Chains A and B, each alone.
Chain A
Amino acid sequence: MTDRFPPPPANGCANTPVLKERGQHEVFCGLTGIIWLHRKMQDAFFLVVGSRTCAHLLQSAAGVMIFAEPRFATAVLEETDLAGLADAQTELDRVVRDLLARRPDIKQLFLVGSCPSEVIKLDLATAAERMSAEFAPHVRVLNYSGSGIETTFTQGEDACLAAMVPVLPKTDARELLVVGALPDVVEEQARGLLGDMGICPIRWLPETDRLSEVGIGANTVFALTQPFLTETHDALIRRGARPLHAPFPFGEEGTTAWLSAIAREFGVPQETFQAVTERPRARARKAVAQASEALNGRSVFFFPDSQLEIPLARFLTRECGMTALEVGAPFIHRAVMTPDLELLAEGPVIAEGQDVDRQLDRCRAAAPDLTVCGLGLANPLEAEGLTTKWAIELVFSPVHFYEQAGDLAGLFSRPLRRRSLLRVEAAE
């Protein structure tokens, strides 16, 4: 069903030895996921139990985007809380009671662990149980860790969804579960495509509100929409659900392969599949072709950030004509990543983990046309003459499925186009 694409490379990167790095990491911690999760789950509140640093991180990551009273906050640990743990639990009860009294619209509360709460071994699981009992049935209280010692950037969403899996009801229905917090517009498109193929019902994790949540069980088949949802993947398997592994739905090829894995599983006739995907595929192809003009023949270097690096490198190399020089990912989950690795032609360095200074050395030596990196590195690299794309935008913008394929290519081509437009050198 991916007939219009070049055949998979004879040697993909699935067996390429991975360069494992263990030095300074330059990535966010999992708390960052709260920024988009709280927009998606509209009846949920995220309470980080942490330090002023955690509050400041959330604010710095979110500051440019929203500034209302958000559905997240930090319970900042103070000197007195560190003295005795019993106090910290009582304090937490007090904070949560105040919070829920002020926000009666909240139906689920996530207690989110941080580095400080983990180092002092503040038991948030017990706290969540205690509070669930107190506030049931109106509010469900769950906990997960978004700490920087346990999680990297997008792993926060993974930990959050994984925490929800055990409390979802049980069902024996044969149902499709799609996993990942995507922007509404993207989610609707995916539901539309799958629905048109006759797949019904389509369940989603997370739902926008707790009441629409669904059951899972041995007949549940699930597909991840994001490569970083590996804990959730494993947790769903533990509940008996069965994963569909496919390349991730980025670009025309990825989307087609992803949909096709589901279509095969649910016995969708080939003609139906063609009929449903034909036109959006053509649109995606056209949009990518336009947006990727500036990308064709250029090279790209990925710093590890969101775990989207491997699927995106696959998209950029196979659909936009780029060459990957290095593809760094914070983690590589084999089962989840293999379909994309197999499509990514041999050649780039595949790196896991990070030693940022050494990676910067490699990047400068490789002199890529485009460097995909975090916000801390982008301007310094631009000042050195490299063209960069901030990785965080890839997580914050709608990039999945056919209708966004052109936008996705556009996110990468815009910095290159911009550089070619500007006719003024920096003074410094």
Chain B
Amino acid sequence: MKLTVWTYEGPPHVGAMRVATAMKGLHYVLHAPQGDTYADLLFTMIERRNHRPPVTYTTFQARDLGSDTAYLFKDACQAAYDRFKPQAMIVGASCTAELIQDDPAGLSETMGLPVPVIPLELPSYQRKENYGADETFYRIVRALAKPMARTTHVTANLIGPTALGFRHRDDITEVTALLADMGIGVNVVAPYGASPENIARMGAAHFNVLMYPETAEAAARWMEKELDQPFTKTVPIGVGATRDFVAEVAQITGLAPALDEDRLRLPWYSASVDSTYLTGKRVFLFGDGTHVAAAARIARDEMGFEVVGLGCYNREQARLIRTVAKDFGVPALITDDYLEVERAIEDAAPEMILGTQMERHIGKRLGIPCAVISAPVHVQDFPARYSPQMGIEGANVIFDTWVHPLVMGLEEHLLTMFREDFEFHDEAGASHHGGKAKVRVAVADVEGPAPQTPRDISGPKKQGAETTIEVVWLPAAERELKKIPFFVRGKARRNTESFATERGVSEISVDTLYEAKAHYAR
């Protein structure tokens, strides 16, 4: 028994739903109690899907137990077939149905439905959502895909994108464009948008692009073995990875590598002087293994960050993440315990988190900016605009997304200069974000008064209300102060005054001004 507050992954049948909902012409009959229908809202609300997931739940009740849950299942199967006329069906049990052992596989087999019915065995008490998606897709491919003649032109299947995936919709477009640059067509994208008939044609592709190992690795391996299709191992997230991906595709296909970098801005944006402030930013990475591994490389090699910790919640990628962590010289955190992740972040005290929506909340609580890099998803992770993670545009999007939570260039310098200022300090958050500023909490070894009440940085400012100024500025110091740019002059004045007050200095000279500056500068 494991105490769980928040979970990164749903149960495995939710993974199966992600596959079914992504597809067309497939129907899922799930032996489950009524409450499990909550899962529909993940798709209709979070992803704003305009159709119900193609799932029929048997919604058995306590009074059905022991008598006719098996009949309920068969009725639901028949009714679903009659109403939706799918090209194929998948059938399985949720955690509760697994316990009553009705054997959906066996039951559906006896029904003689005129379409392929693919049984799923998803152990609810051992495995989780990603496994469920991976296994479901594998079962579908295994049941429907057959070896066949290759297309005359070189084509690939794009495999892995599902419903509720992190930016899967836009990654498909981006990867399709990457392949098109090399003259490679797309045979089938699956499961996203594929019908069972499309799955049956997958064998015609020359190779598979494994976009997300989380959801399609088992299928990729099976197709490699049974359909003789190699699959790509590089996930093209980030500039380096995208280039490697192109090289890998060239090597698989024997075509010349080609990558149109006209629209690629990340390298120059990262090199431009405004980005100097990104240097050595201490970041903590957490999410699914694939996105974390990709993000680690981008963080270090393309943004100039320092990775101070990383981990993933899906055990299936533990080995990958351990390897990456070793390379980065940090411990690997493999856990799906939210509180443990929170503790690790607290200990590492990063300047930024690259994580999931869950870490965004950890960041909120700890006052650390966070950019989201991975599922589990939130309605915000389905922006209206084109916003891929993969390929050229993905790299551009990542640059913007990661920089956005941070305070920017010059602003950061000012914060450094005047880091003890009560409303303009480096915990206040970036000035381009709305919302309440976080007031610096008094720390024992910081001298001087810390304000006790929260203030809104965007609201009207009352200056110096709580300090009675008894120090005097000598004329030379006053003149020197005027040389400081006007937009920071007020802060400089206040900092210098409190510096003087704390030391019992009643007259501020030029020396006091620079001593104060030296004191507050890092």
The answer to whether A and B come from one shared complex is yes
A248 CB within 8 Å of chain B: no
> Which partner residue on chain A sits nearest B5 by CB separation?
A73
Q: Is the CB of B33 within 8 A of A148?
A: yes
Q: Is the CB of B124 within 8 A of A52?
A: yes
| 3 shortest interchain CB distances as A-B pairs | A29-B35, A148-B35, A376-B40
> Which partner residue on chain A sits nearest B50 by CB separation?
A383
Query: How far is the CB of B178 from the nearest CB of chain A, in Å?
Result: 26
A75 with B37, Cβ < 8 A, contacts A69-B339, A428-B50 known: no
Contact with A along B21-64 (1 / 0, CB 8 A): 00000000000011111111110110011111000111111100
A60 with B41, Cβ < 8 A, contacts A51-B124, A149-B60 known: yes
**Can you offer 27 A-B residue contacts whose CB atoms are under 8 A?**
A25-B34, A28-B34, A28-B35, A29-B33, A29-B38, A49-B1, A51-B11, A51-B96, A51-B125, A52-B9, A53-B10, A53-B94, A57-B36, A57-B38, A60-B41, A73-B3, A79-B123, A82-B125, A91-B1, A116-B95, A148-B33, A148-B34, A148-B96, A149-B96, A357-B83, A379-B49, A380-B50
B264 CB within 8 Å of chain A: no
Q: Which residues of A contact B49 (CB under 8 A)?
A: 379-380
Q: Is the CB of A95 within 8 A of B3?
A: yes
> Which partner residue on chain B sits nearest A376 by CB separation?
B40
Q: Which residues of B contact A120 (CB under 8 A)?
A: 99
Q: Which residues of A contact B61 (CB under 8 A)?
A: 149-150
A78 with B1, Cβ < 8 A, contacts A60-B41, A375-B44 known: yes
> Which partner residue on chain B sits nearest A87 by CB separation?
B1
A67 CB within 8 Å of chain B: yes
Query: How far is the CB of B169 from the nearest CB of chain A, in Å?
Result: 13
> Which partner residue on chain A sits nearest B358 by CB separation?
A67
Q: Is the CB of A53 within 8 A of B48?
A: no
Bound: A92/B50 CA distance, A: 42
Residues of A within 8 A of B (CB): 23-32, 49, 51-53, 55-57, 59-61, 63-64, 67-70, 73-79, 81-82, 88, 91-92, 94-95, 98-99, 115-116, 118-120, 147-150, 152, 357, 374-380, 382-383, 428
Q: Pick the contact of B95 from A51, A88, A149 — CB < 8 Å?
A: A51
Q: Pick the contact of A61 from B7, B38, B79, B124 — CB < 8 Å?
A: B38
B486 CB within 8 Å of chain A: no
B263 CB within 8 Å of chain A: no
Q: Which residues of B contact A88 (CB under 8 A)?
A: 1
Q: Is the CB of A79 within 8 A of B126?
A: yes
Assuming A73-B3, A99-B3, A377-B44, what are 14 further A-B pairs, CB within 8 angstroms?
A: A23-B59, A52-B128, A53-B11, A53-B96, A56-B11, A67-B364, A75-B1, A75-B4, A76-B2, A79-B123, A119-B96, A150-B61, A377-B52, A379-B45
A24 with B56, Cβ < 8 A, contacts A53-B11, A59-B6, A148-B33 known: yes
Bound: A24/B379 CA distance, A: 27
Q: Is the CB of A24 within 8 A of B58?
A: yes
> Which partner residue on chain B sits nearest A62 by CB separation?
B6
Q: Is the CB of A78 within 8 A of B2?
A: yes
Residues of B within 8 A of A (CB): 1-7, 9-11, 13-14, 33-42, 44-45, 48-52, 56-62, 65, 76, 79, 83, 94-96, 99-100, 123-126, 128, 339, 361, 364-365, 378-379
Query: How far is the CB of A201 from the nearest CB of chain B, in Å?
Result: 37
Bound: A49/B95 CA distance, A: 13
Query: How far is the CB of B156 from the nearest CB of chain A, in Å?
Result: 27
Bound: A55/B124 CA distance, A: 13
A380 with B51, Cβ < 8 A, contacts A24-B59, A55-B4 known: yes
> Which partner residue on chain A sits nearest B44 by CB separation?
A379
Q: Is the CB of B50 within 8 A of A379?
A: yes
Q: Pick the contact of A119 from B99, B126, B361 — CB < 8 Å?
A: B99
* A52, A68, A91, most chain B CB atoms within 10 A: A52
Q: Which residues of A contact B11 (CB under 8 A)?
A: 51-53, 56
Q: Which residues of B contact A383 (CB under 8 A)?
A: 50-51
Q: Is the CB of B52 within 8 A of A376?
A: yes
Bound: A284/B114 CA distance, A: 59
Q: Which residues of B contact A98 (CB under 8 A)?
A: 3
Bound: A413/B52 CA distance, A: 25
Q: Is the CB of B38 within 8 A of A55?
A: no
Q: Which residues of A contact B128 (CB under 8 A)?
A: 52
Q: Which residues of B contact A61 (CB under 8 A)?
A: 38
Q: Pick the contact of A116 from B3, B6, B79, B96 — CB < 8 Å?
A: B96
Q: Is the CB of B124 within 8 A of A53?
A: yes
Query: How far is the CB of B73 from the nearest CB of chain A, in Å?
Result: 12
Q: Is the CB of B44 within 8 A of A376?
A: yes
Q: Is the CB of B34 within 8 A of A29?
A: yes
Q: Which residues of B contact A53 (CB under 8 A)?
A: 10-11, 13-14, 36, 94-96, 124
Q: Which residues of B contact A99 (CB under 8 A)?
A: 3
Q: Is the CB of B41 within 8 A of A374?
A: yes
Q: Is the CB of A116 within 8 A of B34?
A: no
> Which partner residue on chain B sits nearest A357 by CB separation?
B83
Q: Pick the contact of B3 from A29, A75, A147 — CB < 8 Å?
A: A75
Q: Pick the contact of B4 from A26, A27, A76 — CB < 8 Å?
A: A76
Q: Is the CB of B125 within 8 A of A77?
A: yes
Bound: A113/B340 CA distance, A: 26
Query: How far is the CB of A160 from the nearest CB of chain B, in Å?
Result: 16
Bound: A74/B3 CA distance, A: 6
Q: Is the CB of B37 within 8 A of A25?
A: yes
> Which partner residue on chain B sits nearest A69 by CB separation?
B5
Q: Which residues of A contact B79 (CB under 8 A)?
A: 23, 357
Bound: A85/B281 CA distance, A: 51
Bound: A362/B50 CA distance, A: 19
Q: Which residues of B contact A92 (CB under 8 A)?
A: 1
Bound: A232/B203 CA distance, A: 60
Query: How far is the CB of A371 from the nearest CB of chain B, in Å?
Result: 14
Bound: A61/B45 CA distance, A: 11
Bound: A28/B83 CA distance, A: 24
Q: Is the CB of A75 within 8 A of B99?
A: no
Q: Which residues of A contact B365 (CB under 8 A)?
A: 68
> Which partner residue on chain B sits nearest A70 by CB separation?
B5
